[in-house]
Amino acid sequence: MDVRNQLLRLAPTADREALWPHLQTVTLDAGDILYEPDYAVEWVYFPITAVLSVVTVMTDGRTVESDTVGYESVIGVLAALGGTPAVGRTFTQIAGDAMRISAARLRRQAEVSASLRQLLIRHAYANLAQAHQSAACNALHDLEQRLCRWLLMSQDRTASSSVRLTQQYLATMLGGQRTTVTHALRELAEQGMVRQRRGCIEILDRGHIEALACECYEAVQDNLYRLIGHAPSNLEIETT
């Protein structure tokens, strides 16, 4: 019953044994939409190597990211526990594997297990704290700072120094124009911090990217440690 997802690792043994027969491993492709606003949440996802993004969708179709979730946590918990529809769009930001369970089955187990319910709520609260931080970040920090934060968070949640995503997806994540993102990435490349290939950004100088990133990267890391006792790190992933 060894699995990379941290929430499943931390779940009490009795709860893991109850949930395990109902968990499915799925492979998610980049761009796969898991939830749409106002639609029922039928599955709860526990990322393993996939990285998922929650975005707010405006009436004109523009989107901006509010939450990034990888192997450290879970997505869809509050809707599952409350039996409510999704309020944002969730899609696969970086392709990979995840485990999923029906929202109804997870809710039934949480109803009989206070320890599991508390664990799920803590993770949901940590994701909510990240969404609050992202809202402040989008309002107060410039695109280059937010780009650096996003690159660090994405690398932390993958098993590679490369982030596999197009510039158009980056623009979607950051709520900016593709041309602006292209310019920001070119400046980072000219300074030797990243190398761009088709659909892929390789991080060459993480230390300088950390120095350029806004305070929100560390704030999200601190909140994860404080609320769930674990935050993803590139160093940890490279040594596992």
For the chain, the farthest-separated pair of C-alpha atoms sits apart, in whole angstroms, at 56
Contact by Cβ (8 Å): 147, 170: yes
Question: What domains sit in the chain, N to C, each tagged with a CATH number?
Answer: 6-137 (2.60.120.10), 141-238 (1.10.10.10)
DSSP state letters, 115-180: HHHHHHHHHHHHHHHHHHHHHHHHHHS-HHHHHHHHHHHHHHTSSSSEE---HHHHHHHHTS-HHH
> How confident is the model over 195-223, as a mean pLDDT?
92
Contact by Cβ (8 Å): 235, 167: no
What per-residue confidence (pLDDT) applies to 239? 40
Sign of the dihedral through C-alpha 81, 133, 176, 149: negative
Residue 103 to residue 36: CA distance in whole angstroms = 15
pLDDT digits (tens, 9 = 90+) for 126-176: 999 999 998 899 889 999 999 999 899 989 998 677 888 778 878 877 877
pLDDT at 1 over 60: no
- The first and second tokens of residue 212, run together, are 């350029």
Q: Give whole-number Cα distances, 234 to 84, 188, 203, in Å.
A: 35, 19, 11
> How confident is the model over 188-208, as a mean pLDDT?
92
What per-residue confidence (pLDDT) applies to 167? 81
Residue 132 to residue 231: CA distance in whole angstroms = 17
Q: Give whole-number Cα distances, 49 to 11, 54, 105, 155, in Å.
A: 19, 17, 23, 11
What per-residue confidence (pLDDT) applies to 149? 92
Q: Are strands 33-35 and 89-94 parallel, antiparallel or unpaired?
A: antiparallel
Q: Name the band, by pLDDT with cuts 50, 70 and 90, for residue 237.
A: very low
What per-residue confidence (pLDDT) applies to 158? 85
What per-residue confidence (pLDDT) applies to 168? 80
Q: Across the chain, what does the average pLDDT equal? A: 90
pLDDT digits (tens, 9 = 90+) for 30-57: 999 999 999 999 999 999 999 999 988 8
Residue 35 to residue 6: CA distance in whole angstroms = 22
Burial 128-138 (b: 16+ CB within 10 A, else e): ebbeebbeebb
What per-residue confidence (pLDDT) applies to 92? 94
> How confident is the model over 217-225, as a mean pLDDT?
93
- If you ran DSSP here, which 8-state letter would residue 66 be given? E
